[in-house]
């Protein structure tokens, strides 16, 4: 038996997808022209699936900060934070995040994925219980497994189901940690944090919120869904990423717990991973400063999000959630979704093709993410392509 024989089903499914047109898992951006445009297969294409929510990947201050840091500190740290990889830039960024978030302490990580691995595996242990929203990201599930804690799944965005499960656990577990996301990246819906906090308090639990897709996007200051819902002080731990609104690669965790810094000595994904590069630290700090200084970024992002959402609803397409920077369109099955994705890409619009098992409840989605950098004309152009697609879908039904 070959070592890859266990993946024959996946290989067969991949070939079916390839046979329908362009391979969605091999799309190459030959040239990136701006936060909203790239050249794909020789065509200038509107980027509507990058998670570049605030459009800061080409922000001059961020680019120059990254270049200056590389010239001064080199291209990489060549070691973990525990060994030889902590630079002044890391500490400065952690302090900047703590101030921005109004938290006692912050730790930065090499990726957003590792932020969740480290936080969850460090916070929970074999004698603890993790209660996790069913729609949570793969990094959350992997962090839960790495922790060794007992893991219980509750229905997505359902505080009553969480409450029932906690009641059944009365007396079990040394600590119980509830794990949710602020903005869910597939459907684009948000967590009812206030309701979850009521459940948390009722059962003397802790609450962890992954604000990866909501940081910089929600709240008057861009701190996330917890800020937008007015419940920041009731959230015990937050995690996030640099790879969405901050336009870089990395992650962070923050808390007001006075012992939070112990994670540096207990979380293996932090202890045994090379620390983020000087360029990343510098560009991320510049992006954080831009978010703090320019409230217009949020206003432009939400203008574009509502514009796209309203247009897709008017076309009669099945949009999964109320307006947010993630706008997902449901398709009836995988073949239809792959065909529709191909049609959009050939027409010059790149969106994400999202298929099971990477989607909740087996949904097949065309997932759009909006940027503050999109011009209204670009949203209109994308909607015109969706209008053609909607007509073809109706004709084929």
The answer to whether 56 touches 296, Cβ cutoff 8 Å, is: no
The answer to whether 108 touches 251, Cβ cutoff 8 Å, is: yes
CA distances from 361 to 156, 325, 367 (A): 10, 21, 15
Residues of the chain with CATH 3.90.1150.10: 10-47+295-396
Round to whole Å and give the CA distance between 354 and 66: 32
The answer to whether 251 touches 120, Cβ cutoff 8 Å, is: no
Cis-peptide into 30, omega within 30 deg = no
Round to whole Å and give the CA distance between 346 and 344: 6
| Of 397, 369, 254, the residue nearest 305 (C-alpha) | 369
pLDDT value of position 394: 87
pLDDT value of position 124: 97
pLDDT value of position 261: 96
Positions in the chain whose pLDDT score sits under 50:
none
Round to whole Å and give the CA distance between 144 and 150: 8
Round to whole Å and give the CA distance between 239 and 251: 7
pLDDT value of position 1: 83
CATH of span 58-293: 3.40.640.10
Round to whole Å and give the CA distance between 188 and 322: 8
pLDDT tens digits, one per residue of 243-277: 999 999 999 999 999 999 999 999 999 999 999 99
Task: Quickly name the fold that domain 10-47+295-396 has.
Answer: 3.90.1150
Please report, to the nearest 10 degrees, the dihedral formed by the alpha carbons of residues 360, 365, 366, 367 taken in order.
-10
Residues of the chain with CATH 3.40.640.10: 58-293
Strand blocks (E) in the chain? 29-34, 37-40, 43-47, 105-109, 129-133, 150-154, 176-181, 206-210, 237-241, 251-255, 318-319, 326-331, 349-350, 352-354, 364-369
Round to whole Å and give the CA distance between 93 and 192: 30
Round to whole Å and give the CA distance between 76 and 240: 22
Round to whole Å and give the CA distance between 388 and 155: 36
- pTM, whole model, 2 decimals? 0.96
Measured from the Cβ of residue 238, the count of other Cβ atoms closer than 10 Å reads 28
pLDDT value of position 171: 85
pLDDT value of position 395: 86
pLDDT value of position 159: 98
Partner residues linked to 237 by β-bridges? 208, 255
């Amino acid at each position: 038996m070959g070592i890859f024989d266990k993946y024959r089903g996946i290989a067969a499914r991949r070939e079916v997808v390839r046979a329908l047109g362009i391979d969605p898992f091999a799309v190459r951006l030959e040239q990136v022209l701006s936060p909203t445009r790239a050249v794909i297969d020789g065509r200038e294409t509107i980027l509507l699936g990058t998670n570049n929510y605030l459009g800061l990947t080409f922000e001059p201050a961020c680019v120059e900060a990254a270049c200056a840091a590389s010239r001064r500190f080199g291209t990489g740290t060549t070691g973990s934070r525990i060994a030889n990889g902590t630079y002044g830039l890391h500490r400065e960024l952690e302090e900047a995040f703590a101030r921005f978030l109004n938290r006692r302490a912050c730790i930065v990580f090499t990726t957003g994925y590792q932020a969740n691995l480290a936080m969850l595996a460090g916070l929970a242990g074999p004698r603890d219980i993790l209660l996790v929203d069913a729609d949570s990201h793969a990094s959350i599930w992997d962090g839960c497994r790495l922790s060794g804690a007992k893991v219980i799944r509750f229905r997505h965005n359902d505080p009553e189901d969480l409450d029932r499960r906690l009641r059944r656990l009365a007396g079990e577990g040394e600590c119980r940690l509830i794990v949710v996301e602020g903005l869910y990246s597939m459907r684009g819906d948000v967590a009812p944090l206030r309701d979850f906090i009521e459940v948390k308090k009722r059962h003397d639990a802790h609450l962890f919120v992954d604000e990866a897709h909501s940081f910089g996007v929600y709240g008057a200051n861009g701190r996330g869904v917890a800020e937008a819902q007015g419940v920041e002080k009731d959230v015990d731990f937050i995690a996030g990423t640099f790879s969405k609104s901050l336009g870089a690669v990395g992650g962070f965790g923050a808390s007001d717990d006075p012992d939070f810094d112990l994670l540096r000595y207990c979380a293996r994904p932090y202890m045994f991973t090379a620390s983020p590069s000087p360029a990343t630290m510098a560009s991320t700090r510049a992006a954080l400063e831009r978010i703090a200084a320019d409230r217009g970024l949020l206003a432009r992002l939400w203008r574009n999000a509502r514009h796209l959402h309203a247009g897709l609803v008017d076309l009669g397409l099945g949009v999964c959630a109320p307006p947010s920077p993630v706008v997902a369109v449901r398709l009836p099955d995988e073949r239809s979704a792959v065909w529709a994705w191909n049609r959009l890409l050939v027409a010059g619009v790149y969106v994400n093709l999202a298929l099971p098992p990477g989607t909740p409840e087996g949904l097949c989605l065309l997932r759009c993410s909006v940027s503050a950098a999109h011009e209204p004309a670009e949203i209109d152009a994308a909607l015109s392509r969706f209008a053609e697609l909607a007509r073809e879908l109706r004709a084929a039904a």
